[in-house]
Structure 1
Amino acid sequence: MPTLFSLKGKTALVTGGNVGLGQGIALSLAEAGADIVSVARRDSNDTVSRVEALGRRSLSIQADLGSTAAIEPVLEQAAALGPIDILVNNAGIIRRADAVDFTEADWDAVMDVNLKGVFFLTQAVVRRMIAEGRGGKIINIASMLSFQGGIRVPSYTASKSGLAGLTKLMANEWAKHGINANAIAPGYFATDNTRALQDDPDRNREILGRIPAGRWGEPADLAGAAVFLASRASDYVQGVVLPVDGGWQAR
């Protein structure tokens, strides 16, 4: 049974792997045996050192994935660790304002990173997977707002709702190539993106009051879901958006 979850000999590219959820996912995949390429706007030196301490190879690539021009250079650098077997699309940004005041610039910035960048990076990775005939695993990081509307985050809601649909399309088209496309939908996790909510006493109390687990999620809480979806254990799982939310949706 343990071999079902082994990632030994695999290389995973994790976007936004320098901090928060991305770093937590990168470390969990490394613990399962994968080498890690972390792509982020800032350096991922901390992630690299922690992955290497686990006995795995690692590489930090700095790039702005809000621009499709960054994609090919990123993949050329990532090739130093070998072909990409696992792609985790975690990088994302958020902008907050009432919908009636939301700007076009904030709309475009979020959509470029959270949806457009995800699609074209995945397309480029999958083209290589198909050409080499070796299959692979795509894991998109969705959100609770893939299922519900939220407030004051119109472009984030649109991007994460779109990502849930895009995950299913990827599964439909690429399953025949031995490529699995699934998503993880984290609930309310303690990260920089949710700092404004954590620091607002009223919103913090409302959020915690709905989570049966009674706490904010931590990056390590995604480890099991990430390793499962990256491993052979999920070979017959396609197009799933898996909530990891402490029971938020159950309530």
Structure 2
Amino acid sequence: MKWTIKEIEEKLVTINDEKDEFFRQIQQDERKGVQTVIKRWQRVREHQKIQHEKFIKMTEYEHKYRQGGYQYIAGIDEVGRGPLAGPVVAAAVILPPDFYLPGIDDSKKLNEKKREQFCMKIKETAVAIGIGIINNDEIDRINIFAATKKAMLEAISQLEPKPDFLLIDAVKLDTRYPQESIIKGDGLSISIAAASIVAKVTRDQILKDYDVQYPDYGFANHAGYGTKEHLEAIQSYGITPIHRKSFAPIKEYIL
């Protein structure tokens, strides 16, 4: 039987192993279109294999502490330390032991569509999620580092069930919970990566809402970071109530 290329493509979607009898058969098909389909399938499979292996690697911290008797391991991360406007947002996420989302990574390494897809999946499957938001006025009052920690503690306080261990991206917190601070943890732990995605999607939506309120500044595009577009808007229109007055160059515009 000679399969059409479309039939081959449809059949390959259901196949996961090159040892499959159907796959062995179509490998003998010399049609250029068939060989192109086979190579594309192999590239997709290789990409899936790499994502799976990375995911497994990123579960090592969670596995270690579950082996140590901890059940509710929360990953904590923040976004928004560097922008000139808007809040700093932290998220705390407890994932179930069977959580599986190949491709999960530091939110900065994912495009907006993928972040939003992953955020939805995380919210559907997480045991608990907490979100802490500290606005620009409080950032100015207590400084960005203190505001970051406060946002993280606020996110943790919302978790139900309560965590019994914390995995935190690069920060140590003054809290009763045992913890490990991991440098670049959002690329090394699935729990921290999940928190980074939730925090990023949450903050981006806040800035999109501000974009409606302050349409001349482009907040939906740059999320408050000091881009050329943003700096030019500040020069043209001045600062807004959501700008961080303790940050340069914003403080230069305050009379």
- Please state which band the TM-score falls in when normalised by the shorter chain: under 0.3
TM norm structure 2 = 0.25
TM norm structure 1 = 0.26
Structure showing greater relative contact order (alpha-carbon pairs closer than 8 Å, 6 or more residues apart): 2
Higher gyration radius (CA): 2
